[in-house]
Amino acid sequence: MSKQDAGNANGTGAGATSGARKGAASKPKTDSPFGGLTIDFGRGGGAGGGGVAPALPTIQIAEAPPSAVPATGGPATQPAEQGRTESKLIIVGSGPAGLTAAIYAARANLEPIVLGGTTPGGQLMLTSDVENYPGFPEGIQGPELLALFRAQAERFGTLVLDVDVDAVDLSGRPFRLWARGVEYKAESVIVATGASAMWLGLESETRLRGRGVSACATCDGFFFRDREIGVVGGGDTAFEEATYLTRFASKIHLLHRRDTFRASKIMVDRAKDHPKIDIHTNVVIDKVLGDEKVSGVRLRDTETGEQSEMPLDGLFIAIGHRPNTDAFRDWLDVDEKGYLIVRDKTNTKIEGVFVAGDVHDHRYRQAVTAAGDGCMAAIDAERWLESQGITEATTLTAW
Ligand SMILES: Cc1cc2nc3c(=O)[nH]c(=O)nc-3n(C[C@H](O)[C@H](O)[C@H](O)COP(=O)(O)OP(=O)(O)OC[C@H]3O[C@@H](n4cnc5c(N)ncnc54)[C@H](O)[C@@H]3O)c2cc1C
């Protein structure tokens, strides 16, 4: 097994990103994803037209409260003010889908608990510039965006705990969920546990994530206009990403460890015919080169063992995603790739259990689509709770 194979086998993790420009333009990241944050939206001059836009208020986000359970292992203890373990709705996951669901559910007086996982904020937390989320014409850092999501959910009474759900019992209501030995109960559940991009597992790759190493062409391709980049993989995802990236990059080197491809023949033929794409087979990446940002890769020929260096401005890892469904697989339907299967928008085969975001959606995989899904799941959960007489039917819409 080559070094890269070993990396592929082990290397999974929540995503990070970016590109040449991203690396250079990145603001320093906060130590804690949800540490104190001040964002000043109050710019005097408006973006458009000649008028002077009124200054908007400064938003102050307070230091997030500590997690209600110890950071690592040990017996679970609950501080009195955060001691809620029961709710009409528990949301699992604190990415865009989970936190949007929480905003809607909290504003519908469901007092949701979010069991947000040990990657609070989800995939965007390791991302630098996000330029395609509506409402931020100048872009926003991924962690800042998710801090705003969380502050908005907490403002309306959501309790967010940064713990992983290890096991669930969805056999009857109340549904039961366990995280670090603590049992939580809920009349309804939204599963928004997302998916994790798979990585090669190289130290240099991890260090340069957000500095030219990415796992999302749709998100970061734009940053590589007229640059020379690499795409790693041999499946449909790699070929799709390479083809997509021809819109921006001047040259794309598709790097694959074998000489056969899992991708469909039509995708491979299309790439072979494309003047911007060069396909390199039987190569693995031993190291991603660069200090502050990606400057190239060190390749090894899997047949001869010969090493060579290839100068590159960016590297897209396109070896797949792993849906975070371990705790739910025994209860909910999954497809052949392990993604949850939804019925009628956000429903599952278990009444009262709903799904939102990348944990079922491997087609769009965007923050805005995950957030939209979270909104739909919360509305569906609220209506279902009403239909069961668990909450009072409202004449005024809470949304
Ligand atoms: C490198 C990269 C860059 C990207 N850049 C962009 C971009 O610029 N714009 C854009 O729109 N999208 C971007 N995306 C895609 C975007 O991040 C995702 O589509 C979006 O985050 C999905 O949201 P989600 O809430 O469904 O899942 P996630 O963001 O994956 O969040 C999942 C949540 O579930 C939690 N969780 C997992 N397992 C458990 C468990 N057992 N118990 C409790 N909690 C659990 C995690 O801790 C996490 O909080 C990027 C993705 C990557 C990988």
Q: What is the pLDDT of residue 399?
A: 56
Average pLDDT over residues 198-206: 96
HSE of 296, CA atoms in CB hemisphere, 13 A: 6
Does ligand 1 have an atom closer than 6 angstroms to the CB of 324? yes
Kindly state whether residue 177 falls inside one of the protein's structural domains.
yes
Within a domain: residue 330? yes
Q: Report yes or no on 51 lying in a domain.
A: no
Q: What CATH number did the domain enclosing 146 receive?
A: 3.50.50.60
Residue 115 in any domain: the answer is yes
Considering the domain architecture, whether residues 180 and 315 belong to the same structural domain is answered as no
- Is the domain of 311 the same as that of 225? yes
Q: What is the pLDDT of residues 216-261, one digit of tens each?
A: 999 999 999 999 999 999 998 899 999 999 999 999 999 999 999 9
Query: What's the CA-to-centroid distance between 370 and ligand 1, angstroms?
Result: 8
**How far out from the chain centre does Cα 103 lie?**
18
Within this chain, do residues 123 and 134 fall inside the same structural domain, yes or no? yes
State how far Cα 101 lies from the chain centre: 15
Name the residues annotated as catalytic: 216, 219-220
Looking at 285, 319, 353, the residue that finishes a domain is 319
Q: Per-residue pLDDT for 349 more than 90?
A: yes
Lowest mean pLDDT among 46-55, 148-157, 169-178, 221-230: 46-55
The model's confidence at residue 394, banded by pLDDT at 50, 70 and 90, is low
- What range does the domain containing 213 cover? 199-319
Look at residues 319, 353, 377 and tell me which one is the last residue of a structural domain: 319
Kindly state whether residue 118 falls inside one of the protein's structural domains: yes
Residue 328 per-residue DSSP state: T
Tally of domains in the chain: 2
Indicate if 106 and 183 belong to the same structural domain: yes
* Structure tokens belonging to residue 277: 């794409």
Q: What is the pLDDT of residues 49-70, one digit of tens each?
A: 333 333 333 434 333 333 333 3
The torsion defined by the Cα of 116, 121, 122 and 126, in degrees rounded to 10, comes to -150
Q: Assess whether 212 and 294 both reside in one domain.
A: yes
Is pLDDT of 44 > 70?
A: no
- Does the beta carbon of 355 sit less than 6 angstroms from any atom of ligand 1? no
pLDDT (mean) for 19-43: 38
> Please, what is the average pLDDT of the chain?
83
Same domain, 281 and 375: no
181 and 328 fall within a common domain: yes
Would you list the DSSP string of 23-40?
A: HHHPPPPPSSTTS-EEEE
**Residue 317 in contact with ligand 1 by CB distance below 6 A:** no
- In angstroms, rounded to a whole number, what is the distance separating the alpha carbons of residues 252 and 234? 14
Same domain for 203 and 131, yes or no, is no
Final residue of a domain: which of 268, 302, 319?
A: 319
Q: How far is the CA of 249 from the centre of ligand 1 (A)?
A: 26
E strand or H helix at 111:
none
Average pLDDT over residues 99-124: 96
